[in-house]
Chain A
Amino acid sequence: MTSQEESMISSFSPSLWALARKRLARDAIGLLSLLVVVFFILMSLGSYFGFLAKNWDQEVAINYAPPTWLATNQESVSALQAPIPPRSQIDLYGQTDPLAPLLDELEAHNPQDINSPPDQQKVNHLVFGADKWGRSVILKTIKGSETSILVGLVAALVATAIGTVLGALSGYFGGWVDDFLNWFYNVFTAIPYLLLIFAIAAVLNQKGVSTIILILGLTGWTGVYRLIRAEYLKHRHREYVLAAKAMGASHYRRMFIHILPNTLHVILVQLSINVVGFIKSEVILSFLGFGVPVEVVSWGSMLNEAQNELVLGIWWQLVAAGVAMALLVTAFSVLTDALRDALDPKVVA
Chain B
Amino acid sequence: MSTSLLQVQDLSVYFKEAQGTKQVLNKVSFSVDRGQTVALVGESGSGKSVSALAIMGLLPTDLAEIEVNSQINWQGNNILHLAKEQHRKLRGRHIGMIFQDPMSSLNPVMSVGEQLIEGIQLHLGLSARQAYERAIALLTEVGIPEPERRIHAYPHELSGGQQQRVMIAMAICGEPQLLIADEPTTALDVTIQRQILELIKLLTKERHMAVLFITHDLALVGEFADQVVVMRQGVVRELGDTEHIFKEAVDSYTKALLLCRPSLTHRPLHLPVVEEMMMMKSDRNTASHQEERQRGIRPTDEMVMRVRKVSKNFVQQDGLFKRKDFFAVKEVSCDIYRGKTLGIVGESGSGKTTLGLMLSGIIPMSSGTIEYHEELKKLEGSPALIQIVFQNPYASLNPRFTVFQILEEPLLLHRPDLRVEQRAEEVVALMHLVGLNESMLSRYPHEFSGGQRQRIAIARCIALKPTILVCDESVSALDVSVQAQILNLLQDLQDRFNISLIFISHDLSVVRYMSDEIMVMYQGTVVEKGNSDQIIAHPQQPYTQNLITSIPKGYAI
Contacts and interface: CB of A to CB of B under 8 A. Distances in A.
Interface of A: 1, 6, 9, 11-14, 16, 238-240, 242-249, 253, 258, 261-262, 264, 343, 345-346, 348
Contacts of B65: none
A110 B421 CA distance: 68
Nearest to A347: B446
Nearest to B402: A13
B460 interface: yes
Contacts, number: 86
B382 A262 contact: no
Interface in B50-87: none
- Which of B362, B401, B460 counts the most chain A CB atoms within 10 A? B401
Given A244-B398, A246-B388, A247-B409, 9 more contacts: A13-B405, A240-B396, A242-B362, A246-B361, A246-B383, A247-B464, A248-B382, A261-B398, A345-B444
B390 A243 contact: yes
A345 B383 contact: no
A12 B18 contact: no
Given A240-B396, A348-B18, A246 B360 contact: yes
5 contacts: A9-B424, A238-B395, A243-B460, A244-B409, A258-B401
A262 B398 contact: yes
Contacts of B357: 242
Interface of B: 18, 357, 360-362, 382-383, 387-388, 390-392, 395-402, 404-405, 408-410, 413-414, 421, 424, 427-428, 438, 441-442, 444, 446, 457, 460-461, 464
A12 B413 contact: no
Contacts of A242: 357, 362, 388, 390, 396
Contact of A12 (B395, B442, B446, B461): B442
- Which of B362, B392, B396, B408 counts the most chain A CB atoms within 10 A? B396
Contacts of B414: 248
B4 to A, nearest CB: 41
Given A239-B390, A243-B388, A345-B446, A262 B18 contact: no
A246 B444 contact: no
A247 B460 contact: yes
A243 to B, nearest CB: 5
Nearest 10 CB-CB pairs, A to B? A239-B396, A261-B400, A345-B444, A248-B383, A12-B404, A9-B424, A239-B395, A12-B441, A239-B390, A240-B398
Contacts of B424: 9, 12
A155 B382 CA distance: 43
Nearest to A242: B362
Contacts of B392: 239
Contacts of A239: 390-392, 395-396
A1 B400 contact: no
Contacts of B405: 13
A16 B413 CA distance: 20
B333 to A, nearest CB: 23
A348 to B, nearest CB: 7
B395 A249 contact: no
A248 B398 contact: no
Nearest to B470: A246
A262 B400 contact: yes
A247 B18 contact: no
Contacts of A9: 421, 424, 428
Nearest to B390: A239
A345 B400 contact: yes
A9 B402 CA distance: 13
Contacts of B427: 12
